[in-house]
Amino acid sequence: MKNYNRMPEKFLWGGATAANQYEGGWDEDGRGPSIADVLTGGSVDKERRLTPPAPLPEEFYPNHQATDFYHHWKEDIALFAEMGFKVYRFSISWSRVFPNGDEETPNEKGLKFYDNVIDELRKYNIEPLITISHYENPLHLSLEYGGWKSRKMIDFYLRFAKVLFERYKGKVKYWLTFNEINMLTQDFGAVFCAGMLDPKDVCEQSRYQAMHHQLVASALAVSMAHEINPEFMLGCMLAYHNGYPYTCHPDDILYAQQFGQIHNFIAGDVHVRGYYPGFAARYFEEHGIQLEVLQEDKEILKKGTVDFFTISYYSSSCVSVTKDGEKTAGNGSDNLKNPYLKASDWGWQIDATGLRYVLNQIYDRYQIPIMIVENGLGAVDQLTEDGKIHDDYRIEYMRRHIEQMKEAIHDGVDLIGYTCWGCTDLVSASTGEFKKRYGLIYVNKNDDGTGDFSRIRKDSFYWYKKVIESCGEEF
């Protein structure tokens, strides 16, 4: 009889990072610039700026060095192993493998770096979980083709994906096609997801067309991967927008449902079911969005459905048809403050119970395995005089979310993995800060560019080690 009080024995505990926020080495060994390399630093009060076609000498670009995994990979993977990681989610920098993105042949030096990373993970029996595209389109593809509004991007992406699938078919099992693809339902996604640098392309028409191209590319990649190795497991990845009705007024109830449909389930349904849901057609019609969809696209989407579903989950918000209410921050739009929740230093509302709600919602809809591949707390960490970081607030955040994961499993949800964001400190995607720290490992790097990149284990490091050792019993 199943013991509902325990996590599955083969549960994949681990951590997650992204190349553009963590790797560094932005111009080494033949790597070309990505869109992240022309994004300046910023803060809560200062937006990041794009400076194409090249970095400006007077500006600071935090992603150039990030927290320097490129020169610390061996040390960092040893730390992951010390924590007991079963899986490590990371992305491969497209412009490290194809510097411009449209070359016929890859950069062997770039691939060699990932050979070393994957082999080192394998040495410690850590399962690689690779995101093929994570907010890091080659800059050339943006300047020359306009990013993902161009259908030509599909072929460039598939060439990149094929190289990875064939090279690592005996070493990597789990793949994610695109990071947070549904962020294209929001302005944020125009640059980060689609690499569209023209301000005119922030509009819905361009964003949804770009998302369609990515959905087609994802489906083709899934089909290709399964042909190369039937053992491959291909997943989608969504930034899950959990928007509660702000009031019990029926209009707010309906609005919250529609909010979830648009921001979560258009992309989710195409990935899992292989077709656009009915409500998408109405939304496109009412918003003047005319997608260019080729006849063969429908069959492509139908054939290339994913094997598992993954999400980032940090917080929740409230939504209202009236838009009335105090605004707050978060990984999404329409963020109204929930009076029943506390918030992080950056205003993201902490809602562990919401994770259980979300996991049930996804599993009820799709009935395929789920991974949480981003969950964590961005906070200001203080280094003590004796060189320690006492981050009880991060431990409490993770503990509460793991507790709700266990409840969701008891509910019947097929949850197979959890990778906290980010297992080391890295550059914040939204603000470009080092100050906004997520890691269980402290990296000595600061917003003014100073720091020697030394690594320090936080209290959360030792706590998470116990969680993994006990498979979630000691949390």
Cα–Cα distances (Å) from 330 to 193, 338, 343, 349, 467, in that order, read 17, 12, 10, 7, 27
d(CA 376, CA 372): 11
- Do β-strands 441-443 and 370-374 pair in parallel, antiparallel, or remain unpaired? unpaired
351 vs 326: CA distance, rounded Å: 17
Q: Is 45 exposed, middle or buried (0-12, 13-18, 19+ CB in 10 A)?
A: exposed
**Residue in 180, 227, 296, 299 annotated catalytic:** 180
Look at residues 405, 390, 403, 320 and name the one whose alpha carbon lies nearest to residue 358: 405
Cα–Cα distances (Å) from 94 to 25, 290, 365, 395, in that order, read 13, 30, 33, 34
Neighbour count for residue 125 (Cβ, 10 Å):
9
Query: For tokens 């890691």, what's the residue?
Result: 439
Report the first-to-last Cα separation within the chain, whole angstroms.
24
Show Cβ contacts of residue 80 under 8 Å, excluding neighbours closer than 6 positions. 14, 15, 88, 121, 124, 126, 423
Tell me if residue 445 falls in helix, strand or coil: coil
433 is catalytic: no
* Tokens read off for 344: 């992080």
Burial of 80 (0-12, 13-18, 19+ CB in 10 A): buried
Greatest extent of the chain over all pairs of C-alpha atoms, in Å: 65
Half-sphere exposure of 375 (CA within 13 A, CB side): 28
Question: With contact defined as beta carbons under 8 Å apart, do 194 and 210 qualify?
Answer: yes
Tell me, yes or no, if 180 is annotated catalytic.
Answer: yes
Q: Give me the residue label for tokens 């981003």.
A: 374
Q: Catalytic residue among 103, 374, 385, 469, which? A: 374
Q: Is the distance from CB of 350 to CB of 343 less than 8 angstroms?
A: yes
Please say whether the beta carbons of 354 and 340 come within 8 A: no
The token pair at 341 is 């929740």
CB-based burial of residue 51 (10 Å sphere; 0-12 exposed, 13-18 middle, 19+ buried)?
middle
Count other C-beta atoms under 10 Å from residue 250's C-beta: 10
- Asked whether the beta carbons of 403 and 475 are under 8 A apart, the reply is yes
Active-site residue set: 180, 374
